[in-house]
Homo-oligomer: A and B are copies of this chain.
Amino acid sequence: MNKELSIGLIGFGCVGSGLYEVLNKSGLIQAKISKIVVKDRYKRRSIKQENFSYDVNDILEDETINVVVELIDDSEQAFEMVKRALASGKDVVSANKKMIAEHLDELLELANSNNVSFLYEGAVAGSIPILRNLEEYYNNDSLTSLQGIVNGTTNFILTQSNYGIGYADALAQAQELGFAESNPTLDVDGYDSKYKLSILLKHAFGLTVDPKELFNLGIRHISPHAVAYAKEKGYRIKLFSRAEKLGDKVVGFVAPHFVKSDHFAYSVNDEFNAVILEGLFSDQQLFVGKGAGSHPTASAVLSDISALKFDYKYEYRKVDADSDLKFSNDFFVKVYIESKYIEAINEVPFYHIDELFQSDQVNYQTGWVKFSELKTFDFNHREDLSLVILPEVLKETINTEKVANRPLLETLYN
Contact = CB atoms under 8 A, between A and B. Distances in A.
B132 A137 contact: yes
B289 A286 contact: yes
A315 B306 CA distance: 14
A77 to B, nearest CB: 27
Contacts of A114: none
A283 B296 contact: yes
B140 A129 contact: no
Given A286-B287, A286-B289, A137 B281 contact: no
A221 interface: no
A295 B281 contact: yes
A289 B283 contact: yes
Nearest to A276: B288
Nearest to A306: B140
A281 B306 CA distance: 14
Contacts of A279: 127, 299
Contacts of A26: 142, 280-281
A13 to B, nearest CB: 16
Interface in A269-303: 279-290, 295-296, 298-300, 302-303
A204 interface: no
B28 A127 contact: no
Interface residues of A, number: 42
Given A137-B303, A140-B303, A141-B28, A264 B288 contact: yes
Contacts of A315: 310
Contacts of A138: 303
A348 interface: no
B282 A140 contact: no
| Most chain B CB within a 10 A radius of its CB, from A28, A136, A302 | A136
B288 A28 contact: no
Contacts of A140: 28-29, 302-303, 306
Contact of A285 (B29, B128, B142, B285): B128
Interface in A290-331: 290, 295-296, 298-300, 302-303, 306-307, 310, 315
A165 to B, nearest CB: 19
A397 interface: no
A282 B267 contact: no
A240 to B, nearest CB: 17
A282 B132 contact: no
A133 interface: yes
Interface in A110-139: 127-129, 132-133, 136-139
A139 B306 contact: yes
B296 A281 contact: yes
Interface in A7-35: 18, 22, 26, 28-29
A59 B285 CA distance: 34
Contact of A298 (B136, B281, B296, B306): B281
Contact of A283 (B28, B133, B287, B290): B290
A59 B284 CA distance: 34
Contacts of A296: 281-283
A373 to B, nearest CB: 35
Contacts of A141: 28
Interface centre among A127, A137, A283, A310 (most CB of B within 10 A): A137
Contacts of A288: 264, 285-288
Find the residue from A141, A282, A300, A315 having the highest chain B CB count within 10 A. A282
Given A281-B302, A285-B288, A286-B288, 13 more contacts: A22-B281, A26-B281, A127-B285, A129-B133, A132-B133, A132-B136, A139-B306, A139-B307, A281-B296, A284-B289, A286-B287, A287-B288, A288-B288
